């Protein structure tokens, strides 16, 4: 495994459940599970700060040490708290470094399109991620696309993306990734005339002859 691959040490979890997981997180440990390649699920915990550092570096492949044995793993899933801020659980899937896998990567657009110099022009990106196929030891951080030469009306489709060596995708070539468009201005709403409040019948009026007579 590459020396650039981050490593995580684990501690076996002997007790499971919400209450025990909460105690682990309070102690700076993140509950996790390691599984795959014929192994029964192994319930472990990892150092929360170390895991945060791996996420910050956008690493996909991690060497997870379970009972002293290093296992190449993908970060398969991360569950976050109700604020979608702090991780509360992680899944690690054991992989064979020489096998081809599928993984979802972010599409990162580089540069500022030339067409943005026009009034009202904007860069739209309907597709932000893409599923690619590659070997586990060849996963790029992301798929990058230079958009600096794009003008208004230009589009980039999946078939025009630049993939690193050994990386491919089965996603349809004609799916739209990004485009430079002119924003349609929304017309200002027409002002609404203020409605006059209906008057109260008889308010401010002189009484009629039938109302002003004296008693017989």
Which CATH superfamily hosts domain 102-182? Ribosomal protein L25, C-terminal domain (2.170.120.20)
Put simply, whether the predicted model's pTM sits higher than 0.85 gets the answer no
Level-2 CATH architecture, domain 7-95:
Beta Barrel (2.40)
pLDDT by 10s per residue, the chain, length 216? 555 789 999 999 988 999 999 999 999 999 999 999 888 899 999 999 999 999 988 889 999 999 889 999 999 999 999 888 899 999 999 999 989 999 999 999 999 999 999 999 999 999 999 999 999 989 999 999 999 999 999 999 999 999 999 999 999 999 999 999 998 766 666 666 655 555 555 555 555 555 445 444
Can 7-95 and 102-182 be said to share one CATH topology?
A: no
140, with CB counted inside 10 A (0-12, 13-18, 19+), is middle
Domain ranges of the chain: 7-95, 102-182
């Amino acid at each position: 495994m590459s020396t650039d691959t981050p490593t995580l040490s684990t501690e076996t979890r002997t007790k499971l459940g919400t209450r025990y997981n909460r105690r682990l997180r309070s102690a700076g440990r993140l509950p996790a599970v390691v599984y795959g390649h014929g192994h029964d699920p192994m319930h472990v915990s990892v150092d929360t700060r170390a895991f945060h550092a791996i996420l910050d570096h956008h690493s996909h492949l991690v060497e997870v040490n379970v009972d002293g044995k290093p296992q190449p793993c993908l970060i398969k899933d991360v569950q976050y708290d109700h604020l979608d801020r702090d991780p509360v659980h992680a899944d690690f899937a054991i992989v064979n470094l020489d096998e081809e896998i599928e993984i979802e990567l972010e599409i990162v657009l580089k540069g500022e399109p030339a067409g943005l110099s026009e009034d009202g022009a904007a860069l739209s990106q309907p597709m932000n991620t893409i599923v690619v196929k590659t070997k586990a030891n060849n996963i790029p951080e992301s798929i990058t696309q230079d958009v600096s030469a794009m003008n208004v009306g230009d589009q980039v489709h999946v078939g025009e993306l630049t993939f690193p060596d050994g990386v491919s995708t089965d996603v349809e070539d004609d799916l739209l990734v990004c485009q430079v468009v002119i924003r349609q201005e929304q017309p200002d709403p027409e002002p609404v005339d203020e409605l006059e409040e209906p008057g109260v019948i008889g308010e401010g009026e002189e009484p009629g002859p039938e109302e002003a007579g004296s008693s017989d």
